[in-house]
Structure 1
Amino acid sequence: MSFGQRCLYLVPMLLVMGTIFFLSSQPGDTLSLPDIADLDKLLHAGIYGVLAASTLFAVQGNRWRARPRVVAVFVVLFCMLYGLSDEWHQSFVPGRTPDILDLAADTVGAAIMVLLWLRCPWCTRNPGTPGTASRQQRAG
Structure 2
Amino acid sequence: MQLNFLLIRLYNYLKQNKVLFVYLPLTIYWLIIFIATSLPTIELPNLFKLQDKLEHFLAYFILAIFILFTLHFQDKNLLLKKRLIISSIIILSFYAAIDELHQILIPGRVADFYDWSADVIGGLFGIIISNKIIKAGLSQLAESQ
TM-score, normalisation: structure 1? 0.75
Match of 1:39 among 20, 34, 51: 51
2:113 aligned with 1:74? no
Higher RCO (C-alpha 8 Å, min separation 6):
2
Provide, for residues 50-98 of structure 1, a one-character-per-residue CA deviation record: whole Å limited to 9, x for no partner: 111111222233344863xx21111111111111111111000001110
C-alpha separation in 2, matches of 1:62 and 1:15: 17
Unaligned runs of 5+ in 2: 1-16
Q: Which has the higher mean CA deviation after the structures are superposed, 87-96 or 10-19? A: 10-19
Identity %: 23
Measure, in 1, the Cα distance between the counterparts of 2:120 and 2:86.
11
Structure 1: 5+ residue stretches without partners: 135-140
More helix by share: 2
Task: Confirm or deny that 1:122 pairs with 2:129.
Answer: no
Q: Give the superposed CA RMSD.
A: 2.6
Post-superposition offset of 1:131: 4.9
Match of 2:31 among 3, 9, 18: 18
